[in-house]
């Protein structure tokens, strides 16, 4: 069983990344052995209001047993409480923040208010570190990765919340791991010769999940990063599926 925690519908500007339907996406993921995916919509990163894209996402995934929606809350907008309430009503199991794309900082006061509101729901939290590597993104899309110092501070301020950090890089994991344990990661932007083995030593397999950042990165390449890693069978199961099942309350 392979569960991919970092998949997207919608289109990404300045690339030829395919804008797939839910059915096309499911088929594409199955081609790399992925049985289930946690899916967001790129529209939430670019459009002035994330809810049209979130609604499109919720509708598209409602008919699919292979896709679980991960809507985005944009805290830069005054109606973020309404966004959150709509996600609760839609029975989402987690929500995602895109501070870098949505033009706010994890240090902002609103983030504290959001965390209080979130604690009153059963929703888990995913924070996106990046969608693209700054070193080879398109020149016209100048969005930097999330500042690590902000993430550090966020984890310190919210010690009882366990977040999933999507699109984090290995040096950032090393730095965060020195002081914080209240985070898990996906492996999409972690790469070194033996990345998964190194991450297991650093964090333990309990805090690592498969993530491919489809359709921006090669789905097969990211899956094979995990598939060919030399880790225990138990660790492989944790990273492949059981950690995601627990975090996203999948049946």
Partner 1 sequence: MRIIDVHTHPVFFTKGRKKSELQKLVTHGKSHGVERMIVLGDVLQYGGTPDAEQLRLINDETGNIQKMFPHYFVGFCYLNPNLGEKAVMEEVSRCVTNYNAKGIKLEIANNASQPCMRHVAKACREFNIPVLQHSWSNSNFRPGMENHSDPDDTARFARRNPDVKIIMAHLVGIGYRGVIAAKGLDNIYVDISGAFPEDGLIEYAVEHLGSDHVLYGTDIPIRQSAVKIGAVLGAKLTNADRQKIFFDNTAQLLNLN
Residues near partner 1 (CB under 8 A) are 15-18, 31-32, 133-139, 189, 191-195, 214-225, 227-229
Instruction: Give the residue with the Cβ less far from partner 1, 111 or 236.
Output: 236
Instruction: Give the residue with the Cβ less far from partner 1, 108 or 191.
Output: 191
Instruction: Give the residue with the Cβ less far from partner 1, 13 or 18.
Output: 18
Least Cβ distance, residue 5 to partner 1 (angstroms) = 17
State how far the Cα of 187 lies from the Cα of 32, in Å rounded to an integer: 16
Least Cβ distance, residue 7 to partner 1 (angstroms) = 12
Helix or strand (DSSP H, E) at 165? strand 163-166
Instruction: Give the residue with the Cβ less far from partner 1, 186 or 222.
Output: 222
Least Cβ distance, residue 47 to partner 1 (angstroms) = 23
What separation, in Å, do the N-terminal and C-terminal C-alpha atoms of the chain show? 13
Least Cβ distance, residue 125 to partner 1 (angstroms) = 24
Instruction: Give the residue with the Cβ less far from partner 1, 49 or 134.
Output: 134
Least Cβ distance, residue 70 to partner 1 (angstroms) = 20
State how far the Cα of 197 lies from the Cα of 149, in Å rounded to an integer: 26
Is the previous residue joined to 116 through a cis bond, with omega within 30 degrees of 0? Answer: no
Helix or strand (DSSP H, E) at 231? none
**Measuring CA to CA, how many Å separate 238 from each of 93, 110, 184, 209?**
19, 34, 12, 8
Asked whether the beta carbons of 167 and 186 are under 8 A apart, the reply is yes
- Running DSSP on this structure, what letter comes out for residue 44? H
């Amino acid at each position: 069983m392979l569960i991919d925690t970092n998949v997207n519908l919608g289109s990404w500007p300045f690339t030829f990344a395919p804008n797939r339907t839910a059915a096309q996406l499911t088929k594409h993921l199955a081609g790399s052995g992925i049985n289930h995916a946690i899916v967001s919509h790129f529209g939430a990163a670019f459009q002035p209001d994330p809810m049209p894209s979130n609604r499109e996402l919720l509708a598209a995934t409602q008919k699919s047993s292979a896709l679980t929606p991960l809507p985005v809350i944009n805290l830069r907008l005054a109606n973020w409480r309404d966004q959150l309430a709509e996600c609760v009503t839609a029975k989402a199991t987690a929500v995602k923040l895109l501070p870098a794309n949505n033009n706010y900082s994890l240090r902002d006061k609103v983030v504290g208010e959001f965390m209080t509101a979130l604690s009153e729901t059963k929703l888990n939290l995913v924070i996106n570190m990046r969608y693209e590597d700054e070193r080879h993104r398109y020149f016209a899309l100048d969005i930097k990765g999330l500042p690590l110092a902000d993430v550090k501070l966020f984890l310190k301020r919210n010690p009882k919340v366990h977040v999933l950090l999507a699109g984090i890089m290995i040096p950032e994991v090393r730095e965060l791991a020195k002081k914080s344990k209240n985070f898990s990661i996906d492996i999409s932007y972690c790469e070194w010769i033996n990345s998964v083995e190194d991450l297991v030593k650093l964090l333990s397999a309990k805090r690592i999940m498969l993530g491919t950042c489809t359709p921006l990165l090669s789905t097969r390449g990211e899956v094979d990063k995990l598939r060919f890693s030399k880790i225990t069978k138990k660790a492989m199961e944790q990273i492949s599926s059981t950690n995601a099942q627990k975090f996203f309350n999948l049946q």
